[in-house]
Chains A and B, each alone.
Chain A
């Protein structure tokens, strides 16, 4: 090689210097890493939701502790003991104490960054968006027809009206227009005044109530509850996309039924047998007292392992039929240890009947966290098809 030129300092013009300050490749690649973490977290969502104590609210965030992703390389298995060369005071046999320094795997092979954790904060809203994207869920249609709210809405202006509805800006404009053709006209006349006009409009109801009923008899295990809970959660989130206001109501039952606040609902455990009609009656009562089917869209979800008392069959069937008349939809979630066992029970048969009669019922078997996704997909697809 010939030696061309000599050593020296490079002075960059101002613009170039700022480039260094403005652009960070490291930050760019770090953001890319975070994207990858997010999508990895996305795959673990059912698990995350199932493990929290209450259903997170839509405007809240979930904090997920995550490790840095590791770009894997071939490495030797960690030996039980690691040898190295150190420097300082030390005789054979000495135990070294004090702050142990990190052994850094520098150089091409080293990649020991796994030790740091950081917390990723995810908005529930974002998660729901991903979910929609991922599951390609159809938008569910709000039931049209009978369910309507009546309300006054602003509509145009009038020359007559009560003083409180006087639109000053509009009136002033009218006055200006008039004076443009009447140079000597009065500042204001009664004809200039404009009042806001209201008219009675009918709007589809945008409120919804969701009843969550759960069998808390002794046969329902923690695993069963977690599955039910994550299904409940995603249903609420999905319904929230349709309705401006949504109210969850929690009902637990064994042979009796009780309404619970959300915080306690998932911890409730009862003993004794299962009488599903108790829960259905309780829902009918609450609906009659607080949620007028004319104003509210009513959704009901019932989770159970399906072992209903045989002598309750008729009572349950009757109560279900009544429920079927007031709800937009009633879904039955059956938890089972294995997928093939689900939906072959007493309770399941009741819902099958209702589904055949009215078309407003659905049944889903839950056995693994993944099956929650299938159930969600089935629910929303069915809704979009049924309600036109």
Chain B
């Protein structure tokens, strides 16, 4: 089977390049579906061990057994890119998957967010993650499973709390405030000082003022803990750094999911359509696989409460190419992320065509359709994607005694933190920070609520 697939893959690549797809070489590998499932669970083929992955694994296994999910491919951007295909897929399925992978590879090389993350994290994330896993394995040998697990409990809980606007490798905060250029007290004061009879300007150095830590509220909690936790050992800081590096890699995957899956689906459909080297029946089988992947929802259901990102992205890309041409599409795949993509190109007409609706689900599970308003639709679809999908929790102050203040920006998030979970996360963090901590959020009555550890 692989022989035929290799042949088709070569032809598909030629076709892709003719169409202007531009990507780093991709190493394909067929693996058992059990391994595919693990990659999906861990997000990476070899990743650090943690019990929470075990829970996701069983969850995935149950879903898989019940036939709810089927994994066709997993792609890792990089140079070379790596793609894993399920060995038990049919030739037709894997032909389609190969074309799909080329779409992803093109996206990963050209999209700004992906480019930026690869420039910072590196082009060999699979190997890097494996080496993190290895180092954590050594740490387990040296310091015992319990201690390493405690570090991972805390670090992985903060996985989404990074600041991708800042570079991956950041300088520590300045220790002292910059002496202000106009001397003490601002422009008025300096003009006043310069009046005749005023104090004589001296050359004595200005008194240096210690800068507060952090100088401004800090989003990157993983970085802050790795660099500023008062009592962490170096190997513990390294684990935080490893988790943070992987998070920087995951961010564009998360922030461009609709675009990226849509783009890959657009290209597998197009490449297959034009692949005249495929025998007719194999083309038809592959096409059927395509319609399975991008179908909006299971045929027997009236409606779905989750929008299939493959389908949504695919439809938006088709309408873009139709209206603005393929050159414009290439430009968009380079410059946008899901936010701008959905806001700019999910039009009223397209939403109607796709039968998108906004709904409200009560606590008892009953669902009511709200409206079809396009602006509301877009914002509701994007809402779970803000801030890497996590509440905005910022570090506001580290006091001289090392105590840490955290603040939840409930005003932007609209409501307070889930207090039980916040308490547990605080427990994880306190084992690392080892000094007093406080976390401010609001309760159900919108009153200020401060959780503390001493």
Contacts and interface: CB of A to CB of B under 8 A. Distances in A.
A145 interface: no
A94 B29 contact: no
A79 B415 CA distance: 8
A7 B329 CA distance: 25
B226 interface: no
Report which residue of B29, B51, B254, B297 has the largest number of chain A beta carbons within 10 angstroms of its beta carbon.
B51
Interface string B416-432: 11111110110010000
Nearest to B387: A109
B150 interface: no
B319 interface: no
A88 to B, nearest CB: 3
A85 B377 contact: yes
A71 B157 contact: yes
A94 B417 CA distance: 31
Interface stretch (B34-42, B174-182, B261-269, B271-279): B34-42
B115 to A, nearest CB: 10
Contacts of B388: 108-109
Interface string A27-47: 111111110100000000000
Interface string A91-105: 111111011110110
A289 B53 CA distance: 61
Contacts of A83: 358-361, 370, 380, 383
A5 B102 CA distance: 16
A78 B363 CA distance: 9
Interface in A75-92: 75-92
| Chain A residues touching B, majority SS | loop
B368 interface: yes
A109 B390 contact: yes
Given A7-B28, A26-B41, A75-B421, A80 B363 contact: yes
B451 to A, nearest CB: 11
A25 to B, nearest CB: 6
B56 A100 contact: no
A27 B42 CA distance: 12
Given A85-B358, A87-B307, A116-B62, A33 B51 contact: yes
Nearest to B421: A72
Contacts of B49: 25, 28-29, 32
B14 to A, nearest CB: 11
A5 B24 CA distance: 9
Contact of A107 (B2, B51, B254): B254
A109 B367 contact: no
Chain A interface category by residue count: 35 or more
A21 B88 CA distance: 13
B389 A1 contact: no
A119 to B, nearest CB: 14
Report which residue of A8, A27, A89 has the largest number of chain B beta carbons within 10 angstroms of its beta carbon.
A8
A86 B56 CA distance: 25
A48 interface: no
Given A10-B29, A26-B53, A36-B51, A90 B369 contact: yes
Interface stretch (B200-208, B210-218, B349-357): B349-357
Given A10-B29, A89-B355, A29 B50 contact: yes
B102 to A, nearest CB: 9
A31 B54 contact: yes
Given A20-B35, A77-B416, A77-B419, A86 B368 contact: no
Given A81-B361, A81-B362, A85-B358, A76 B24 contact: no
A9 B296 contact: no
Contacts of B413: 76
Interface stretch (B165-173, B234-242, B298-306): B298-306
Contact of A95 (B5, B51, B54, B367): B367
A11 interface: yes
Contact of B28 (A10, A21, A27, A111): A10
A107 B389 contact: yes
B25 interface: yes
Contacts of B428: 72
B381 interface: yes
B454 to A, nearest CB: 20
Interface of B: 2, 5-6, 9, 13, 24-32, 34-35, 37-38, 41-42, 46-47, 49-62, 79-80, 123, 153, 156-161, 247, 250, 254, 257, 296-297, 301-308, 311, 354-363, 365-372, 377, 380-381, 383-384, 388-391, 393, 408, 413-422, 424-425, 428, 444
Given A4-B80, A25-B53, A30-B51, 11 more contacts: A4-B79, A10-B27, A26-B58, A29-B50, A76-B391, A77-B417, A78-B363, A95-B369, A96-B303, A96-B359, A113-B55
Interface of A: 1, 3-12, 20-21, 24-34, 36, 68-96, 98-101, 103-104, 107-111, 113, 116
10 contacts: A3-B24, A8-B6, A26-B61, A84-B306, A87-B311, A87-B354, A88-B303, A90-B302, A91-B369, A92-B371
